[in-house]
Each structure stands twice: as C-alpha cells, then as structure tokens.
Structure 1
C-alpha cells in the first residue's frame, strides 16, 4: 500500500514538470503571435524578446489574457529612445486571436503596410490604437462594419484619400483619432451620429471645406482637434453646445474667417484655445474674461484688432498673441503675475516699455519668449540670466541696448534672435552651441568666433570681422 501511495505522490508532484507550461496559452494565440513576431524585421530594443515558442504566451511582454485566451496586445516604443521601435508589417495572423479585445501598437514608428484588414476577423475587438507608425493607403469603406468598436486611432500614420462616410456607423465610438495623416476631402456629415465621442481629432491632414455645423450631437466631447488643415468659413455656431465639458478646442493653422464667437466665454472648462494662423477678424470678445481655467491661448497670426480684453486667468502656461493689429502698450498684468508661464509670444503687439521695468513673478521656467517687432528698450540681461530652461528668445526689431558678452547662454538655449537692436560688445564663443542665431544690424565689434552660422547672421554691425565675413585686419 505504501508503495502505491509513494508512486501516486511521485506522479502528482512531477505532473507539472511533464506537462509543458505552454498549455496555458491557446495554440491559436501562440501561432498568431509568433507569426506577428516573424513579420517583424527589426526589434533593436528587444520588445519581443520574451516571445518564445513553447512558453506561456500569457506571460509574454505586452500580452494580457483572461481564461488563458489573449485579450490584449499592447506594445509601445519610447519616443526618447531612438532604438525603441519595430520595423516590418503587421501580420494578418493576428486574426487568430479571436478573443482579442484591445490592440495597442503605439510609437513603434516603422510598422508599414495597408489598413489592417484582419481587424474584420476579430469578433471581440473594441479598442484599436495603431499610432505613430507608417501605415499607408486608403482607409476602406468597410471600416463601417466594425460597429462594435469603442475606440479607433490611426494617429500619425500615412493614410491617404478621404475619410470614409461609413465611419458614421461606428456609433459606439468614444474616441476617433485620425490626426497626423494625409487625408483629404471634407469631414463626413454623418459623423454627427457618433454621439458618445469624448475625443475627436483630425489635425494635421489635408482636409478642406467648412467645418460641419453638427456639434450639438456631442454632449460629452472633451477634446476637439482640427488644426493644421485647410478648413474655410466661420467657426460653426453649434460648437457652443460643447461648452459644459470641452477642455481642448484647437482650430489653428486653417483658413477660417469671421469673428471669434462670443459664446467661447461660456467654455469654463477650457484648458486650451488655439485659433492661431487663421484669417479671423474683429475684436477679441470680452466674454473671454470668463475663461478662468485657461492655460494655453493662441490667437496669433490673424487680423484681430484692439481692444484686447482683461483676462482673469489664475495662471497662464503659454500665450501667443503675435502678428495681429494689437497695441497692448504693456505686457498684460495677468501674464506678469502668472506663476507657471513657460511660453510668452507677443511679437508685433505694440508693446512700449523698458525691459528692466517688467518684473514677472517667475522667470525660472520660461522656455520661449518672443518680443520681436515692438518698441522695447533697455536690457534683457536681468530677465534672461534668471532663466535656466530657456530654449528660444526672439527680440528683433526693438531698441534693446546691452553688452552681448554679459548674456548667460544656458545649455538649453537653441534660438537667439537679437537682430536690428542696439546691442554692443563682442560675440561670445558660447553662441556656437545654438541652432539658430542672428545679431545682424547692431553695434557689435571684433572677431567672430568659430560658428556654423551664415554671413546674414552678422551683417550690418560696426566692425565684426572674420569668417563668414571679411577677414580681420592685422594690427
């Protein structure tokens, strides 16, 4: 009897060793995933290193399972790591993952090929994010058959052609992200049927025509990004229906005309308003004073006129009012008092002040300051020498007067334009680390240090010499 018990105990203890771990992974899922891996031609950072035949695919990197079936495939490159990508095509063998609920292939950069037709053979797929890669060709009309989808993103690929009208059948969508492609034509009016949308983006395409006036349908929309297209006409009146929840309204870099609507003052949840680089006219509505939560405001490159209203923001992060017909005279007080501002662009805004008299609450976090084309006097040394993260400073066409050698060139600084001022002294060698530099038409003198900048960066000074200008005269 003891002998039989010992044998039974031995068999029980050794069964897990005799039974391969891969039993936890369905054969179809393993086959589909390994075929996906075999279609990848480069994986320099080893994203798929753990994908080995005969091991449990539910333990592989980027794989989630439920009841031993693969329900999620999630692979992501890291934008700040150059070798963190995958090259190759997305294998249609992923259609074998019949329980797949979510497909997330983001920042992989080098995935190529057409629209992934295998999606039509995945009965449980609800979330598709294939972002920042190189898929191309047209989005097929059959996309309208994926009626179970709740999120669809082909953000920043290379798809061409029109947005299929059949996309209006995807009524379960909460997110539709087609920004950053090469899509053309107009926005299909039928998209008004997607009433559950919280996130809609078509930015940076080649879309044209008027923006459809159908936004009354979208009671839950929080993000609307249509910038970087060729849209014409006025800002649609129905956008006013988005006021309760919309946090991001980005319509910049189009060809929109007409006034800025008064109704924007009702958007009390607004974080970002981008209307820059259009053809908007008239005055900025006083109602914008109601936008107390706004952090990012861009009205630049329009045809807007005085007066500019006093805003009641708690703290602005980035502001761009450049290149309109404003005569602000001073930098607004609500800008000066902001504890969090990192980008201030007020080029050609009719500002008249002595720069030493401007005393912002914080300068430490400034990344970008553009004060070009104003009537600003004095020296920027006190301001700029307090910034540790400055990336760009543009102040051409003013009356700044200071010794250039007194300027601290921080490591982060890449763009410096002081052309057409009253700057004197020598050009310090520290400017060689900049990407762009212009001190033309000032009162600088002496030899130019070794730099990569063209002669146009140094022309019109009192006595600068040396390459790329004429050689210095020998004493």
Structure 2
C-alpha cells in the first residue's frame, strides 16, 4: 500500500528536473528510494518523505493519506500546486509537516487536527486562503511547537485560542490579510520565542500581555495600523530579544530609553511612525546590533547633538544605519570614522544637519550607500571619498556644498548613482569620472560648474537612467560621444552656454524619453537624423539659435506629448499633422519667419513658392510614390472582388463542433449545472447567463447559456462560434464543446461550454463586491503578468490569425484567471473578422460592423462617431484596462465627467506623482520601505517608480483619443515585457 501511494505521488509530478524520482522503480524496494525512509520495526512502512528543494512540479495526490506510519513530511521549496489533500488528516502519527515555499492554494484542511502528535506545521509562502480553521485549536493545545502560515492570503482575525499553545515556540502569521486587534491571549504563550504578525491589517494597540513574553527572541508587528505608545520598560521585559520590528505603524511618544537594555538586539526597526524626542544615549550597549532604522519619524537631537552616532560606533557588527527623514540638527561627528568596515549603509538624509562632511569618512571602506541629501551641509566634498572603493550610491544633493568635484571620485569604479545637484559646486566636471564604467545616473544640475562637458563622461555607455548638467555655466559644443549613451532615458542640458550644432550622433540614443536643451546657444538646423528618436515624450529646444525648417518627421512622433521650439530662428511652413494639430502640446512662438500650420496658431499663410519648396518631391520619388499607390489600389480591388465572390458561395457559419468538438445535449448540461440552479450562477452578460457545473462527473466547466430573446444574442452566438473555431492560444479561454438544440419545452437552446476558470474574473479581483471583501489584493507582479497575458491574447488576435480579429469588448469582466492566475480573454460575442487583404496594414483595416457596440468606459471614442470596429479600438480598450488595473479606478467612476476621463487623469499626473494615483494596496505591498534616497532613491524604490511610470505611459499611449496616435498591440506587449524583465530581474 505504501509503495502504491508513493507511485501515485510520482505520477502526479509533471517535472522532476533533478531526477530524484528516477530511483523510484518497482524493481527496487521503495525503502531504498531517494527521499524515502522506512520503519525498522514495521517492515515496508514509510515513516518519512523528504523531497525538499527538488524543483518538483505537480500536485499532492490524496493517496498520501495511505502512508499512515508517516512521522515527517518535508516538501518545501518546490512548485507543488492545487489544494492540500484532506487525506492528510489520516496521518495520526505525523509530527512534522513542512509544505512551505510552494504554490498551494485553497483552505487549510480542518481535519489536520486529527494529526494529534503534530509538533511542527509550516505552510508559509503559498497561496492559501480562507480563515485559520478553529479545528486546529486541538493541535495548538497539545504538542504544537511551531505554527508557521505566513506569506499567504489568509483572512479573518488572529484566533484567540492560539494563546492556549502552551508548547508553542514559533508563531508566524505575517504577510496575510488578517484584520482586527491582536488578541491579549497571545501573551499566555509563555514559551514563545518568535512572534511574527507583521504586514497584515491589524489595528489598535499592542496588548500589554505581549510584553510579558520574556522568552521572545523575535517580535515583528510592522506593516499594520497599530498605534499608541511603546512601554518605557520594553527593553527590560525582553532580555533575550534579538530582533524587533515595529515599523510602518502609527506609534507615537518617545523611543523607550530602556531599549539598549535588550543587549542581544541585532535588528531594530522603528521606521515610518510618529516617534518624538531623542535617540537613547546608551545605544552603544547593543553590541550585537547589525541593523537599525529610525527613519521617517519626528525625532530630534538633544543638547549633545548627534552624539548618538558616536555611541553607535561601539556596535562593531553594525551594517545598516538609517536615521533619515527626522529633525536632527548639528554636525556629523568625526567619530563616524570609528564604524567598522562592516557598515554598508549610512543615511542621515532629509534632516537639518550642518557643518562639513568629516574627512574621516574615507575610513569606511565597506560603505556602499551614503545618503546625506537635503540637509544644510557646507564645505567641500572630501578628496578622500575616492577611497570608498565599494561605494555604489552617493547622494549629496540639496545641500550647500562648495568647491570642486573631487577627481578622486573616478577611482570609485563601482559607482552606480552620483547625485550632486542643487549645491554650490564649481570648477570643471572631472574627465576621470569616465572611469566609473558602471555609472547609470549622473546628476550635476544647478551648481556653478563651468568648462566643457568631458567626452569621457558623456560617452559612458553605462549611463542609462539620467544625465543632468542643467543650470550651470558649461560652454563649448555637445560632444559627438553623446551617442554612446544609447540606453539613456533622460538628458537635461538646459540653461548653460553650450554652442555649436546639435550632434547627429544624438540619434543613437534610441531610448530617450526626455530631452531638454533649452537656454543654450545651439545653432544650425535640427538634424534629420533625430527622426530615430520616436520614443520621445518631452522635447525642448527653445531659446537657442536654431535655424532652418521644422522637420516634418515630428509628425510621426506618436508618443510626443510636448514639443517646444520657441524663440529660435526657424522658418518656413509649420507641419499640420500629428502633434502639430494640438496647440496645447506645441510651442513655436518667437520664430518670426514661420508660416502656415493649423489656423489656431494664427500664423500668416505661406507663400506659394515656400510651400512648393518644402513639399516638392524629386520626379523620381514622385513617380515611385504614384506607382506604389497604384499597385496598392489594384491589390485591394482584387482582394475585395475575391472575398465578395467567396462570401456568396460560402455556407453559413459553421459551429466549432464541426471540426474538433463533439456536441453535448441540453439534458446533459442541465444535469451538470443542477438544473441551471441559481446557486451555480457565476456571471451574467448582455446576451445570457454563465453557470458552473461538473461535466461527465470529473470536469469543472462554465456553461454560457444564450438568452435568445435578447436582441443580438443569436448573432453573438454565431460570432463566438466563428471566432473560437479559428483560434487557439494559452491566453484565450478554451472552449470544450457547444450545444445547439431545444430544451424540454421545445424552445431553441444554444450554449457554449468552457473550462471553468477557478479564480474568477479580473473584475472580481480589482473591485470585490460586499460579499468578497476578503479577496486578497493583486500584487504588482500579478497585475503585470495579467496585463501581459491579456496583451498577448489581443496581439495574437490582431496579428497572428489567418484573418485579423477585433475582440470588440475588452474589459476586466472579460479577463478570466485560471488556477495558476494565468489570464484568459473571453466573450467573443462582439468579435469581428477583418475581411481586408492581409497585405494591407492591419491597423488601418476596419471590421464589417455598425453601430456603437462595446461597454461604456472601454469603447473607443471614435465608435461613438459612427466609425466601424478596428484594431485600434481594441488597443484603446486595453489601454483603459491597463490604467484601471494599476490605479484601481473604474473608467466610469463618478469623478469622470465633463470630458474628464481616466486617460486624462493619469496623463496629467507628473512622473513623481504617479505613485500617488496607484491603487493604495500596491503601495502597501510593493513600495520599498526604510531609506528613501530622493530623486535617485535606493535600487528598489527607483526601479518601482520608474517602471510604474513606464506602465502608465503605455496605458496612456494605448488609450489616446485619436486612433493614429495609439501604439499597436505588438509594441505594447513588447514594452510591457521589457518593464517586467527590468522590474523583476533583480528579484524585487
């Protein structure tokens, strides 16, 4: 029996990349199989199953319940899916159950309480939902030592019966969706050593009984909504405490001066609260301290200034020190040099610190991040800072630092971000900064720098985020080496005295989004080569000495939101198309020789010879253009004639069953759905109802029953059949079969049968109803994956089918999520084939539909003007869907009226405020906490904000009002994939 159970387990494994089950053969005793241990007293009975970290993919079969002699199961760190089988309840000898770090879902089985000898229960890092079963109370009251279910989607409150766990040592419930107050009964678990309940939705105060847990080694309540004051004697209550996490709550009052009495503390995090007063003077008593963060509070210095830093130098294990965003005053003591080489992060940013940067700071050889920005520090940057070989982030902006930029910074070859803007630096930009071959962002704006821009610096190919030298007194030409920054996103050169022509090599910076060159002395014409910078969103060339005509290629810059060419010497006709049709997005004043353009510009009409001069084509080009146009028209004519003839002889629309599906009877569907019971109703649309059911006794299905009395329902049925018989894609809903019959009353009956999507629709996750308030919020990775899945489906319909297909009704309720949270687009009732030749540009083709069809808020605005269905209409719907996913706001919200739309709402938000319009649940789950390093914050914060801006930009571009300004789905999909790869490749 045990061998059969193990073979059933093996059969459920889809992948075994490490081949641990290759030894599981019937020719060998199962007691000799890898990962299997057997009893010595009871021959052949399995007592342990250890398959930890084997990268297994599959489900746990119920047969595991037959291994009744099991005492230990360790399946952690695999990719096991599905539910935890209830048959685990048969394993009454089980002492240790470890299923953490998998992809298990569903509820925690209640009958685990039958495992009466259970001592260790670990289910963390899965996708479990529901409440913690009260039945587990029996385990807690007996022998359970470790109860770990953190990092799931559990709901409800913290059960007070956990306080009965007389044997409990470890209790970890953090990173769930638990609500309510912390039960005072938890203070009764006298042996408790680890209590982690952080990152939930807990409110109220910490019960005083918790402070009686004198055995605690680690206490984490961070990331909740707790308030009140921390007892002054907390340090005396926890003599063995090694880590204390109270951050991201609403605690107030003073930091308890007894904290240093908990001498074993290693991690101390009180960040993002409302603590006042001073830092305890005797912090140096914490000899085991490795990380300390008091950032984002209202702490102040006492009479002894920043002497607490001197005290902390006694903590010889310290790696992380963050006191940023408080109200500290005084000078940084020279004693900071006494920190050991273990110190990696030092942040005193956003305070009121004065004086110089102590030269002794050069002794901190291990320092990786130094953040002193937004203080009142003066003096010069110590030359010895070049000795900090491991420094990657240096943030000194927003101070009063003077003198020259030390050339020794060129020795810091690991530097990724250098931010020195808004100071009083002078002299030249050191050319040997070009030795920092990994530098991604360089910010030197708003200083008193002079001289030229070194080609060694602007030629750094690693510069990919930002290059800013604006607001200085730089002279000379812009070096040709600027083209080496091929991945740069933002370049700011404004308000200098740069001369010469705009280098044509700038065209190699293909990733440029923002280019600001206003207020210099650039001359000559705008280079034709800049036509490659089609990703520009903001371009400012005003207040220079540019001449010649405005390049007509600017008409093709579909994502350009602002173009400023004012106060130059430009001449000739102003283009009419693209961005030039919106006077709010262009500025051309101060160019006296310009003419033409749209009438709102109020310019003089161009003379005939000027127009001819601009628009005249060489005879050869004209002949080629006419020939190509004739061939296209001829091709279109042939294709139209072909399709018309074919459509006359083509039979009526075939149901998908004619090719690969077997029809199912009305009676069978009626039985499968419990006589179409209201309790099985899972959705309702404009043309019918959707029921869940069990087909053939073992397959969960969704049955879409058409309401044939509803106008358009029959055509919707035919359209969906026609589309589904021609497509197959992992992100499109999978049709099982179809029913076209009559019901028991003799009325016509039509239904489509699909695989049931167990996680419902995206609509339910974004906007849960009153009876769905416990639905966990989607995190950033899930939303981005779902957006990419939906984009993949639409891109497939548009560009990879034999004939392009317009979906016609893309919205959250038509995006379903399967058991792995993979998105599948459904409901093709409004879908249309594009009948035009595939030789034509698909984005210009239109479907043979009429009238306004779709859902208000998601339907493209041109449909309301009588335009027929088009691919660009789907792109608009996808753009709105994308914006809704990340803002959490419906396009039909009451705030949108009088022409104000979700598109306009996001578009008007500046880069730095995009985070403010995000769905609040995203910020609580994803936004990095602790140090905030300003314009170039720490890697996690910067990556988060930059990529949120990129996602929003894609949504705005897809939902542009004019179809011609929208990107196609291929481009949108590519950009979203690039965002995902950039955002998560470092494991954010």
Pairwise same-fold verdict (TM > 0.5): yes
2:699 aligned partner: none
1:293 aligns with 2:293: no
Once structures 1 and 2 are overlaid, which stretch shifts more, 437-446 or 166-175? Answer: 437-446
Cα 1:18–1:230 shift into 2, 3 Å: closer
Q: CA deviation at 1:350?
A: 0.6
**What secondary structure sits across from 2:175 in the alignment?**
strand
TM-score, normalising length: structure 2: 0.38
* Aligned counterparts, 1:81-100, within 5 A: 86-89=200-203, 92-93=206-207, 95=211, 99-100=215-216
Q: Is the 8 A contact 2:485 2:509 kept in 1?
A: no
1:189 aligned partner: 307
Q: Is the 8 A contact 1:381 1:406 kept in 2?
A: no
1:142 aligned partner: 258
Cα 1:188–1:353 shift into 2, 3 Å: closer
Aligned residue pairs: how many? Answer: 427
Q: CA deviation at 1:216?
A: 3.1
Q: CA deviation at 1:336?
A: 0.8
Q: Match for 2:378 among 233, 236, 257?
A: 257
1:329 aligned partner: 452
Q: CA deviation at 1:129?
A: 3.4
Cα 1:99–1:407 shift into 2, 3 Å: farther
Cα 1:116–1:307 shift into 2, 3 Å: same
* CA distance in 2: counterparts of 1:368 and 1:431, whole angstroms: 18
Q: Is the 8 A contact 1:151 1:176 kept in 2?
A: yes
Q: Match for 2:296 among 174, 180, 185?
A: 180
* CA distance in 2: counterparts of 1:430 and 1:112, whole angstroms: 50
**Greater helix content:** 2
Q: CA deviation at 1:128?
A: 2.6
Cα 1:18–1:407 shift into 2, 3 Å: closer
1:114 aligns with 2:228: yes
Q: Is the 8 A contact 2:534 2:556 kept in 1?
A: no
Q: Is the 8 A contact 1:75 1:105 kept in 2?
A: no
Q: Is the 8 A contact 1:47 1:75 kept in 2?
A: no
Q: CA deviation at 1:214?
A: 1.9
2:395 aligned partner: 274
2:149 aligned partner: 60
**What secondary structure sits across from 2:328 in the alignment?**
strand
**What secondary structure sits across from 1:58 in the alignment?**
strand
1:227 aligns with 2:349: yes
**What secondary structure sits across from 2:135 in the alignment?**
coil
For structure 2, which runs of at least 5 residues remain unmatched after alignment?
Answer: 1-67, 70-89, 94-110, 121-126, 140-145, 153-164, 178-197, 606-988
* CA distance in 2: counterparts of 1:199 and 1:287, whole angstroms: 25
Q: Is the 8 A contact 1:212 1:236 kept in 2?
A: yes
Q: Is the 8 A contact 2:458 2:485 kept in 1?
A: no
* CA distance in 2: counterparts of 1:414 and 1:386, whole angstroms: 14
Q: CA deviation at 1:466?
A: 11
**What secondary structure sits across from 1:253 in the alignment?**
coil
Q: CA deviation at 1:85?
A: 6.9
* CA distance in 1: counterparts of 2:176 and 2:483, whole angstroms: 40
* CA distance in 2: counterparts of 1:325 and 1:396, whole angstroms: 18
* CA distance in 2: counterparts of 1:158 and 1:384, whole angstroms: 50
1:392 aligns with 2:514: yes
**What secondary structure sits across from 1:265 in the alignment?**
helix
Q: CA deviation at 1:179?
A: 2.2
2:441 aligned partner: 318
* CA distance in 2: counterparts of 1:92 and 1:224, whole angstroms: 31
Cα 1:321–1:18 shift into 2, 3 Å: closer
* CA distance in 2: counterparts of 1:103 and 1:62, whole angstroms: 16
Q: CA deviation at 1:123?
A: 4.7
2:486 aligned partner: 363
Q: Is the 8 A contact 1:137 1:160 kept in 2?
A: yes
What's the Cα RMSD here? Answer: 4.4
Q: Which string of whole-angstrom CA distances, capped at 9 and with x for unpartnered residues, describes residues 350-388 of structure 1?
A: 142256x23443412x23221112315434775356433
Over alpha carbons, which structure has the higher Rg? 2
2:469 aligned partner: 346
Cα 1:18–1:362 shift into 2, 3 Å: closer
Q: CA deviation at 1:75?
A: 2.8
Q: Match for 1:245 among 366, 378, 386?
A: 366
* CA distance in 1: counterparts of 2:452 and 2:343, whole angstroms: 38
Q: CA deviation at 1:257?
A: 1.3
Q: Is the 8 A contact 2:276 2:299 kept in 1?
A: yes
Q: CA deviation at 1:20?
A: 4.3
* CA distance in 2: counterparts of 1:100 and 1:451, whole angstroms: 66
**What secondary structure sits across from 2:377 in the alignment?**
strand
TM-score, normalising length: structure 1: 0.72
Q: CA deviation at 1:134?
A: 4.5
Q: CA deviation at 1:167?
A: 3.7
For structure 1, which runs of at least 5 residues remain unmatched after alignment?
Answer: 1-10, 27-45, 78-83
* CA distance in 2: counterparts of 1:406 and 1:330, whole angstroms: 25
Cα 1:358–1:251 shift into 2, 3 Å: same
2:175 aligned partner: 75
Q: CA deviation at 1:54?
A: 3.3
Cα 1:314–1:474 shift into 2, 3 Å: closer
**Greater strand content:** 1
Cα 1:54–1:308 shift into 2, 3 Å: same
**What secondary structure sits across from 2:337 in the alignment?**
helix
**What secondary structure sits across from 1:183 in the alignment?**
coil
* CA distance in 2: counterparts of 1:452 and 1:147, whole angstroms: 63
Q: Which string of whole-angstrom CA distances, capped at 9 and with x for unpartnered residues, describes residues 124-157 of structure 1?
A: 4322334455544443333333332111123334
Q: Is the 8 A contact 1:291 1:313 kept in 2?
A: yes
